[in-house]
Structure 1
Amino acid sequence: MIIDLRSDTVTKPSKAMLNAMMEASVGDDVYKEDPTVNALEERIAEMFGKPKAMFFPSGTMANQTAIKLHTNPGEQVICDKYAHIYNYEGGGASFNSGVSCKLIEGHRGMFTAQQVIDSINPPEFYHSALSSLVEVENTTNKGGGACWDFNELQKIRKVCDDNTLGLHLDGARLWNALVAKKETTEQYGNVFDTISVCLSKGLGCPIGSVLVGDEEIMEGAMRVRKIFGGGMRQGGYLAAAGIYALDNNLQRLEEDHTKAKELEAVLTKATYVKKVEPVETNIVIFELQNDINSNVFITKLESKGIHIVGMGENKLRLVTHLDYTNKMHTYVLDLLSDF
């Protein structure tokens, strides 16, 4: 039995999802003639109360498109030092949009409205890059699946309004945050100019993310997606998986969160663990004791059929997901308890 806890991206479509995909009505999405893609985009746009949405092959492409739409070359994006757009998107912000990142020293990937104010470059001071966009990630990946305080997000919105800054949400795992915090898509649609949401993580789709936004900012989304090579033809087969996931896999995210909390409880008691980040959703990040080599630890777990990932600095990550069964969970809990 191979138990893959490296990420929630490792899931495979269920038989029911595959059936929905194979029964999809399709057309040419580049001509906007794929009815299933159109239906997915309309549904997610409506969920967030936004006029437009666009289907993308990946969350990285959706985020990079948002950055491109909000900025001009030479400008600056304000984000946390843990931000996915800075750490895990191949330097795309600088390569694709010619912008730099002003990094905030936040807490577990989250920052305050005051920190945003302190990070804005004076617009009249032409020696520094022009601040044009604030980027938020919810839940935070490197922060261990932490969820933002919505009140703080509203304060950041006001700072952006006062300083004519765009506000983008990397919502790769926003679905997890919504379930954990009992919040709504409409709340987030009211705060952010653009939002990317992923279908291939907690919702279990084989591929795909969606970018939603206000009318004016989204006007150029089709052109930017084309430039990035993201135009898909009969994408309805993939969009059908997204529609199925929204119908069937949203509320079950609570199961992943429960399992993650149970893993946290076991690791907190383990003598080989130095620290465990507080668990809110489906990500568990823990730090080994100084005298334990993380690579050796990972290899020993692999010999027991369990795959996890290193985060650097002796930190390791577990991610629960819909393919992580109760039987697997019991095995992992017992093994970690006695390791």
Structure 2
Amino acid sequence: MIDLRSDTATRPTPGMRAAIAEAAVGDEQKREDPSVNELQERAAALLGQEAAVFLPTATMANQIALKLHGRPGDMLLAERDAHVVIYEYGGAAAHAGLLVHAIPGVAGRITVEQLEAAAAPSTKVADQRAAVLALEDTHNSSGGRCWPLDELEAVIGAARALGLATHLDGARLLNAAVAQGIAPAAIAGRFDTVTLCLSKGLGCPLGAILAGRGDAIERAWREKHLFGGAMRQAGIVAAAGTYALDNHVERLADDHARARRLADAWGDAGLPVDPAQVETNFVQLDVGALGLGVSEALGLLREAGVGLSTTIHPTVVRAVTHLDVGDDDVDRAATLVPQALEGHGRA
């Protein structure tokens, strides 16, 4: 099976497994684990922030950040299809008591004008207030699209003028940085807090980083305990993160190139894809245009030996390239997918 369902399908490489086996460990809850401490310091510097805390998942990191920035009854502003809105199971309400104001975007991005309208103060003193803006880069549901820096700077500047805290769901932030040829801190350093996932394109078995100002991260440590995210000898996992920062960042460009090759090949074969929208490691395929339902299409592809996955869009499936997918896999998928869908639409 050529597994293109998600970059979460990656498995630790031999080098990463060696780093895990050799990791120095201590009591992470007491901040005595040297491998965890090293990862946190490395990640904070990479992201242009003062401090960082190591957490089991990126969803936990996002939820802790939102709790830091708002009070129960405040509003969270986010793009309508952002991960914190549609894939975190109402966590903003359950954990932080935040109301969600979902703003319809284009390619996962919103405008200054939309933000200003959403954050406009109420004429009623007792009404809820907009407290935090959460952006996502790359944006999962739009197909791994990136925020252009000028647009990002304008929206963050508007948020600050409105008195909003800013959080970046940067689960795939390093994909955005590599795709745009810029330092991760050029994106992440603009925000009050930022999440980085280690278990997607970086290939770690689990783990995430929440970074921000020193005082915010001190508060995040307490929330980590409240969320049940404190660990003990977590250095065996943190060592994988440090290994990934040393070895798996620049190679994200290979994933992006393979995704574009796949999109070009499928487009040439007549499948409904838009290669111009492939900015990182996602390829979206509209099987509805072929007269297929999503379940039927995924079944046909599975029988052909290629795994794709659903998206929030009712007729669209996706392929995601990652470090366990090589050039031969892409070449085979480029042929197998059109063959599997042959007889539907133009394929």
TM-score class normalised by the smaller sequence: over 0.9
216-225 or 88-97, larger mean C-alpha shift: 216-225
Q: CA separation of 1:247/1:60 partners in 2, compared to 1, >3 Å: closer, same or farther?
A: same
TM (normalized to structure 1)? Answer: 0.96
Q: Post-superposition shift, 1:219?
A: 2.6
Runs (4 or more) in structure 1 with deviation over 4 Å come to: 274-277
TM (normalized to structure 2)? Answer: 0.94
Equivalent pair of 1:70/1:217 in contact (CA under 8 Å):
no
Letter matched to residue 327 of structure 2: N
The aligned residue for residue 30 of structure 2 is 31
Q: Post-superposition shift, 1:262?
A: 1.0
Letter matched to residue 302 of structure 1: R
Q: Post-superposition shift, 1:277?
A: 6.8
Equivalent pair of 2:264/2:275 in contact (CA under 8 Å):
no
Q: CA separation of 1:47/1:229 partners in 2, compared to 1, >3 Å: closer, same or farther?
A: same
The aligned residue for residue 68 of structure 1 is 67
Equivalent pair of 2:33/2:233 in contact (CA under 8 Å):
yes
Cα deviation, 1:193-238, whole Å, max 9, x if unaligned, reads: 0000011101100001100001232231011111110001111000
The aligned residue for residue 278 of structure 2 is 279
The aligned residue for residue 42 of structure 1 is 41
User: CA separation in 2, counterparts of 1:272 and 1:199?
Assistant: 32
The aligned residue for residue 258 of structure 2 is 259
Equivalent pair of 1:277/1:285 in contact (CA under 8 Å):
no
Matched, 1:303 2:303: yes
User: CA separation in 2, counterparts of 1:253 and 1:292?
Assistant: 32
Q: Post-superposition shift, 1:52?
A: 1.0
The aligned residue for residue 97 of structure 2 is 98
Overall identity of the aligned pairs, in %: 38
Q: Post-superposition shift, 1:76?
A: 0.5
Q: Post-superposition shift, 1:297?
A: 1.1
The aligned residue for residue 124 of structure 2 is 125
The aligned residue for residue 334 of structure 2 is 333
User: CA separation in 2, counterparts of 1:98 and 1:113?
Assistant: 25
User: CA separation in 2, counterparts of 1:186 and 1:148?
Assistant: 14
The aligned residue for residue 291 of structure 1 is 291
Letter matched to residue 328 of structure 1: D
User: CA separation in 1, counterparts of 2:128 and 2:321?
Assistant: 40
Q: CA separation of 1:160/1:274 partners in 2, compared to 1, >3 Å: closer, same or farther?
A: closer
The aligned residue for residue 55 of structure 1 is 54
User: CA separation in 2, counterparts of 1:325 and 1:48?
Assistant: 29
Letter matched to residue 299 of structure 1: G
Equivalent pair of 1:276/1:286 in contact (CA under 8 Å):
no
Letter matched to residue 135 of structure 1: A
User: CA separation in 2, counterparts of 1:84 and 1:167?
Assistant: 15
Letter matched to residue 107 of structure 2: R
User: CA separation in 2, counterparts of 1:188 and 1:214?
Assistant: 15
Cα deviation, 1:165-211, whole Å, max 9, x if unaligned, reads: 10000000000000000111221243100000011101100001100
Equivalent pair of 2:306/2:336 in contact (CA under 8 Å):
no
Matched, 1:234 2:222: no
Q: CA separation of 1:302/1:277 partners in 2, compared to 1, >3 Å: closer, same or farther?
A: farther
Q: CA separation of 1:18/1:207 partners in 2, compared to 1, >3 Å: closer, same or farther?
A: same
Q: How large is the RMSD of aligned CA atoms in angstroms?
A: 1.5
User: CA separation in 1, counterparts of 2:108 and 2:284?
Assistant: 13
Equivalent pair of 2:204/2:244 in contact (CA under 8 Å):
yes
84-93 or 43-52, larger mean C-alpha shift: 43-52
Gaps of 5+ in 1: none
Letter matched to residue 54 of structure 1: V
SS in structure 2 of the partner of residue 196 of structure 1: strand
User: CA separation in 2, counterparts of 1:153 and 1:172?
Assistant: 16
Letter matched to residue 294 of structure 2: S
Cα deviation, 1:112-159, whole Å, max 9, x if unaligned, reads: 122111110405534542100001000000010000011111112221
The aligned residue for residue 89 of structure 1 is 88
The aligned residue for residue 214 of structure 2 is 215
Q: CA separation of 1:185/1:271 partners in 2, compared to 1, >3 Å: closer, same or farther?
A: closer
